[in-house]
Structure 1
Amino acid sequence: MSIKGSSLIIPISIVVHLIIINGTLYLLTPDTYTQNLNALYYNFSWLLITNALDFYPTKRKETFFTNIHKMLNLYTLFGLCYFAIFGFSNTAKGSTLFHVEVLLVIFLLLTLYRIFFYWAIRRYRFHGGNFVNVLAIGRDKNLKKIRKVFDDPYLGYRYKGFFDDSPSKSPTYLGKVKDAFDYVAKNSIDEIYCMASKFSQKELQRLIDFADNNMIKLKVIPDNKEVFTRAMTLEMFDEIPVLNFRRQPLDTDYAKIVKRMFDLFFSSLVIVFVLSWLVPLMYVLIKAESPGPLFFRQKRHGYKKRVFWCYKFRSMAPNAESDSKMATKNDMRVTKIGKFIRKTSIDELPQFINVFLGDMSVVGPRPHMELHTEDYQGSVDKYLVRHFVKPGITGLAQIRGYRGEVERKSDILNRIRLDVLYIEKWTLSLDLHIIFSTMRNVFAGEAKAY
């Protein structure tokens, strides 16, 4: 294997995957596997699906979770292909449940290998393998930022330095731009990073031609005018690159479907196994202490600032300030049973009905009452970004301690900062982490749960 390019990394992965699939099927379903051309069908299906999904090509910054949606799509399609052959050839031996278990074993082994693969390749790069030599031409603020990527030993970059017409005392300064061409020709450079703000169109074209003629990858970093963001992506309109400054993971159809399916599944469990017996019990306890309805409902802003009725178990005596004033510490409006259900977050459980109906999600930015939304959207920067997704019963801000009463300006600023971070960095694993953290906090108790 080439230490530098490591061109066999992907072929080895393909072989290992086929060994796992064929070995498992041969050991667990020998009769089915050896009949007719089943073995050939399984291998062909796997290779066809992985090629269609562009599953194997990996980027240096890719991790186990980067393209996990491709892995789930791959498993789903291969599972369908696995069962499809039984309908045509009637070669299935054993029950449907047995074959589901066989598939789960295959998927588990493939997932474990995927985890090992990303761990191993990072270690391999750390010890000098699978590296690329890179240099920069032109210097601006962006170079300092991408240097952080180049300096990560687990990514396999070997940064040689930069060329710029403005002399520098930096130890990585290699000379003026005109000297770069000779340096590249005499050294084994794989990638050139060019700061677009430093060059004219003619100079850039010359650099492009030079890179093409020397089989070097050229990457141009545009002049950002100090407006780059974490959520920005590049889209192509024919040959014109267009920067999208507010694209988040939940924009994809896959993410929307996965999150909605999870919401339906989770909310159904809570409604059937918890609310079915909790609602009658709460009715007795709440009505016994104070007159009024079982549920407290309030208009709140949701996805794209649409208004919906948010449901909670009533924890306060009926009052005129319920739609304008948040609960505060030692709030006299809170009933005795209300203190308990607020402390344990039981009062929030009816919102799983909102989740089931599609107004909310299990995880997301907490919805605010209309009055507060109108107030904060004019005083808190990026406040309305949180309305790009459905509001949630719990969220990243809540597990970090920013829930309940806003006592100081920093409370709402940090809450919005974490809400925006969640929107930009959403993954299913992040949702699960937030749910487990929320459950842990419920049992441990939270200072602002009042």
Structure 2
Amino acid sequence: MKKYIGRYSKYIRPLTILFDVSVINVLAFVFFDSDMLSFSEFLAASFIWIVCSIITSFYDVYRFTKLIQIADKCLKQIALFTIFSFAYVGFVSKSFSNVELIKYLATCFFIIVFVKYAIFNALKLFRKYYNGNQRRIIIVGNDVLSNQLVKFFNKEKDYGYALIKHFKEDELVQNVIAFCSENYIDEIYFSLDGATNTELNKYINYSDNNFKTLKFIPTKTEMISSSAEVHYYGFIPIIPSRRFPLQKPLNKLVKRTFDLVVSILVIVFVLSWMVPLIGLLIKLESKGPIFFNQVRNGLYYKEFNCFKFRSMHVNNQAHTLQATKNDSRITKIGKFLRKSSLDEMPQFLNVFLGDMSVCGPRPHMISMTNQYEQMVTKFRLRHYIKPGITGMAQTHGCRGEIENERDIINRVKYDIFYLENWSLLLDIKIIYLTVKNAVLGDKKAY
């Protein structure tokens, strides 16, 4: 399978967030007496800005976003941050004058909004005149909206969509899919006009399993439900087939920050004494290294070395044969480590390095991944996010050995639910259930 190829543009939003937060904090030094400022003030200002941006969707700006929509986001962000700032200053009784605070806020907003528009327009010019930051797309359909979309993409070059081919009526699905695979298509725009459920399911399955973006072109306004997320390309409505919470840049930032904080705390306060202790016990029982490293597939199938405490005698089948109940390869200390999930603790190093998350779909050994993706249609979908040390499947009875096809199907169902319903509270709940199961014991932990 062709590996997913990322774009450098994915770094623009995180860098923009970092720039905005830096502006807020640096200008505080300029406008206010430094003796009146403490670390808590800078932390509060950054936190308030992030919270406001989540509420206003300030950073949810895409290539198809209109300038008026950006202006609306900016006004909402300005209003909300101003209200929170005055409320905070009043609450902590800081002797900042209203004039100082207004000048500070006005300068912050001028710089941030100016840079935001500058980046947005610079990207448009880059796409239009240098053909950069482009997405290769196809359109499937021959109705009015589909043909309007063809004209839109051919005219509006600054959006950065390279229309490779327009498939019209009576085109076999397998021919379209073959074309997408051979020509490295990024996005498929599929018209719902006259589409059958069979065709629809084939396109959904193909996009889910090959990291393609699938978007629907509705034919009638009544087909757009009030709960559907609708994007407008000009005046043409487009409905994304899937929308995951972790596709939002701020949600990614929240999850990564949470992962870093948790992993650092565990590494400093737990692994610092646990590694020597468990390492000694492992060495006393059997020959071999303390850690067991195994190459596994992570985000978009990127390979990484997954760390564990060695729980087996050194053997030639460690990378190809999963552990089973009463497995003779497992050592005595290894049995305890696996039962208590302590063998997974070194993976907090993987979390710190960015290869894994605290919570997410569990990564499998590569030989098992290749086998499971042939068994389960939606298996590859779980690689849209980073793998986790623990996950929903593991806390809901789907841990341990995969004994039959039903086991892996159930595991993937939980993983997809997690993808579509992620929240920080859900991660905290999964961690709580993981600790609870480790203390009480899990019959599938072996």
> TM-score per shorter chain, which class?
0.5 to 0.7
Comparing both structures, which one devotes a greater share of its residues to helix? 2
Distance in 1 between residues matched to 2:445 and 2:79, nearest whole Å: 43
Query: Which residue pairs with 2:374 in the alignment?
Result: 378
Segments of 5+ residues of structure 1 without an aligned counterpart are 1-44, 56-71, 92-195, 198-218, 225-229
Query: Which residue pairs with 1:276 in the alignment?
Result: 272
Q: Secondary structure at the match of 1:404?
A: coil
* 8 A contact 1:326–1:404 mirrored in 2: no
1:287–1:235 CA distance, 2 compared to 1 (3 A): same
TM-score between the two structures when normalised by the length of structure 1: 0.53
Query: Which residue pairs with 1:254 in the alignment?
Result: 250
Query: Which residue pairs with 1:53 in the alignment?
Result: 56
Query: How much does 1:73 deviate?
Result: 12
Query: Which residue pairs with 2:13 in the alignment?
Result: none
Give the alignment of 1:26-425 within 5 angstroms: 53=56, 86=94, 88-89=96-97, 220-222=221-223, 233-425=229-421
1:73–1:292 CA distance, 2 compared to 1 (3 A): farther
RMSD of aligned alpha carbons: 3.6
1:54–1:321 CA distance, 2 compared to 1 (3 A): closer
Distance in 2 between residues matched to 1:310 and 1:51, nearest whole Å: 33
1:81–1:52 CA distance, 2 compared to 1 (3 A): farther
Query: Which residue pairs with 1:435 in the alignment?
Result: 431
Q: Which has the higher contact order (CA 8 A, sep 6+)?
A: 2
Code of the aligned partner of 1:427:
S
Query: How much does 1:340 deviate?
Result: 0.4
Structure 2 residue 444 is matched with structure 1 residue 448: yes
* 8 A contact 1:283–1:294 mirrored in 2: yes
* 8 A contact 2:337–2:343 mirrored in 1: yes
Distance in 2 between residues matched to 1:77 and 1:391, nearest whole Å: 39
Per-residue CA shift, 1:253-275, capped at 9, x if unaligned? 11000000000011111101100
Query: How much does 1:364 deviate?
Result: 0.3
Q: Secondary structure at the match of 2:230?
A: strand
Query: Which residue pairs with 2:205 in the alignment?
Result: none
* 8 A contact 1:317–1:335 mirrored in 2: yes
> Which of the two has higher C-alpha Rg?
1
Code of the aligned partner of 1:367:
P
Code of the aligned partner of 1:252:
K
Query: Which residue pairs with 1:62 in the alignment?
Result: none
1:336–1:234 CA distance, 2 compared to 1 (3 A): same
* 8 A contact 1:50–1:74 mirrored in 2: no
Distance in 2 between residues matched to 1:75 and 1:328, nearest whole Å: 56
1:233–1:378 CA distance, 2 compared to 1 (3 A): farther
1:342–1:54 CA distance, 2 compared to 1 (3 A): closer
1:362–1:52 CA distance, 2 compared to 1 (3 A): closer
Q: Secondary structure at the match of 2:445?
A: coil
Structure 2 residue 422 is matched with structure 1 residue 426: yes
Query: Which residue pairs with 1:184 in the alignment?
Result: none
Q: Secondary structure at the match of 1:435?
A: helix
Distance in 1 between residues matched to 2:79 and 2:370, nearest whole Å: 45
1:327–1:78 CA distance, 2 compared to 1 (3 A): farther
1:249–1:325 CA distance, 2 compared to 1 (3 A): same
Query: How much does 1:245 deviate?
Result: 1.2
Distance in 2 between residues matched to 1:73 and 1:370, nearest whole Å: 49
Query: Which residue pairs with 2:177 in the alignment?
Result: none
Distance in 2 between residues matched to 1:73 and 1:249, nearest whole Å: 24
Segments of 5+ residues of structure 2 without an aligned counterpart are 1-47, 59-76, 100-192, 195-219
Distance in 1 between residues matched to 2:336 and 2:300, nearest whole Å: 33
Query: How much does 1:54 deviate?
Result: 8.5
* 8 A contact 2:54–2:250 mirrored in 1: no
Distance in 2 between residues matched to 1:307 and 1:74, nearest whole Å: 45
The ranges of structure 1 where at least 4 consecutive aligned residues each deviate by more than 4 angstroms after the TM superposition are 49-52, 72-88
Query: How much does 1:234 deviate?
Result: 2.6
Distance in 2 between residues matched to 1:449 and 1:233, nearest whole Å: 41
Distance in 1 between residues matched to 2:221 and 2:236, nearest whole Å: 14
Query: How much does 1:282 deviate?
Result: 1.1
* 8 A contact 1:312–1:349 mirrored in 2: yes
Distance in 2 between residues matched to 1:50 and 1:300, nearest whole Å: 36
Distance in 2 between residues matched to 1:90 and 1:77, nearest whole Å: 11
1:446–1:75 CA distance, 2 compared to 1 (3 A): farther
Aligned residues: 260
Q: Secondary structure at the match of 2:231?
A: strand
* 8 A contact 2:259–2:351 mirrored in 1: yes
Distance in 1 between residues matched to 2:403 and 2:54, nearest whole Å: 54
Query: Which residue pairs with 2:175 in the alignment?
Result: none
TM-score between the two structures when normalised by the length of structure 2: 0.53
* 8 A contact 2:293–2:308 mirrored in 1: yes
1:313–1:54 CA distance, 2 compared to 1 (3 A): closer
Per-residue CA shift, 1:337-357, capped at 9, x if unaligned? 000010000000000000011
Distance in 2 between residues matched to 1:401 and 1:261, nearest whole Å: 28
